[in-house]
Amino acid sequence: MPFKTPPPTPQYSLLTFPTPHTLLVTLARPKDLNCINSTGHAELHEIWQWMDDEPSLRVGIITGQGRAFCAGADLKEWNKSTQSSEKRPPPPPSGFGGLSRRTGKKPIIAAVNGLCLGGGCEIITNTDLVIASESAFFGFPEVQRGVVAWAGALPRIVRTIGKQRAMEMVLTGRRVSAREAERWGFVNEVVVGDEEEGVVKRAVEVAVQIAANSPDAVIVSREGVKMGWEGVGAEEGTRLLVEAWEKKLNDGENIKEGLRAFVEKRKPQWVESKL
């Protein structure tokens, strides 16, 4: 696939392109349960920025290699920094894995193939959709290690699963099963079968559905949902969305193509988004 700029070449993740408009990022430290160290955070921040800037890509997916999605921070690295004067580099502004505080413009699906703890949960709290294998489980065990989930999940998870459930997860540190997380609304869908291949296959299917739509309309619709989730009132959010995006959308080619294709009873041929 021709890209405007070449893809990053990370040390701790694998980049693949399972369909023409989809980027699949696989965390590749299976022996360490895909814990993310300082270098890994910087790499992932660069990857997601590249995806947003690359016109041919419309959807991202993140998953893990082996039996874990992500077990959180690299505690060995963290311990080393607390026991010496050698401080860890600060995290990127986009947060844990370049995702927990990300404000980027293109949607990202989490394909949770196994255990998802600490920073792993911080990642999925701020992804757009979460698809999990039946054997996956979730938790914020930070309190059991004397640390805190600093990377953005705490004020966000309450808006997804409610105060009492959020308090239960972050104050007890207990693990929540995929089925329970689905009932709570933390997970969109649970996939039965082969953990790694099955959940990624389903995530790719959903990514194809998203990528088949107008890339302009997907970007702007996502911004509208984010405004409500981030606490902006409904009317204020609508006003801000219209002011920021309506003219840009209407000036683009994809809205014209979508309406023309409807009238002509054919499939739209989208062009790369300029938003």
SS3 72: coil
Angle at 11 between CA 187 and CA 153, to 5 degrees: 30
Mean pLDDT by 10 residues, the chain (275 residues): 90 97 97 94 97 97 96 76 69 93 96 96 97 96 89 93 96 96 97 82 97 97 93 86 91 93 94 91
Domain ranges of the chain: 13-211, 215-263
pLDDT attached to residue 2: 83
* Catalytic option among 142, 182, 195, 196: 142
**Catalytic residue status for 180:** no
Chain segment 234-262, per-residue pLDDT in tens: 888 889 889 999 999 999 999 999 999 99
Cα 246 from chain centroid (whole Å):
26
- pLDDT for 146: 85
Considering the candidates 119, 139, 152, 252, report the single residue annotated as catalytic. Answer: 119
When the candidates are 3.90.226.10, 3.40.50.300, 3.30.500.10, 3.40.50.920, the CATH number that belongs to 13-211 is: 3.90.226.10
Residues forming beta bridges with residue 214, ordered by sequence position: none
Residue 176 pLDDT: 97
* pLDDT (0 to 100) of residue 211: 97
Contact, 48 vs 60, CB < 8 A?
yes
Check if 244 is active-site.
Answer: no
Looking at residue 84, its pLDDT comes to: 64
pLDDT at 5: 92
- DSSP code for 25: E
So what's the pLDDT on residue 80?
65
Stated pTM of the model: 0.93
Is 168 in the active site? no
With b for 16 or more beta-carbon neighbours within 10 A and e for fewer, the 231-254 pattern comes to: ebeeeebeeebeeebeeebeebeb
Q: Is 207 annotated in the active site?
A: no
Q: How far apart are CA 40 and CA 225, in angstroms?
A: 29
At residue 237, the pLDDT reads: 87
CB 38 within 8 A of CB 86: no
| Predicted local distance difference test score (pLDDT) of residue 85 | 67
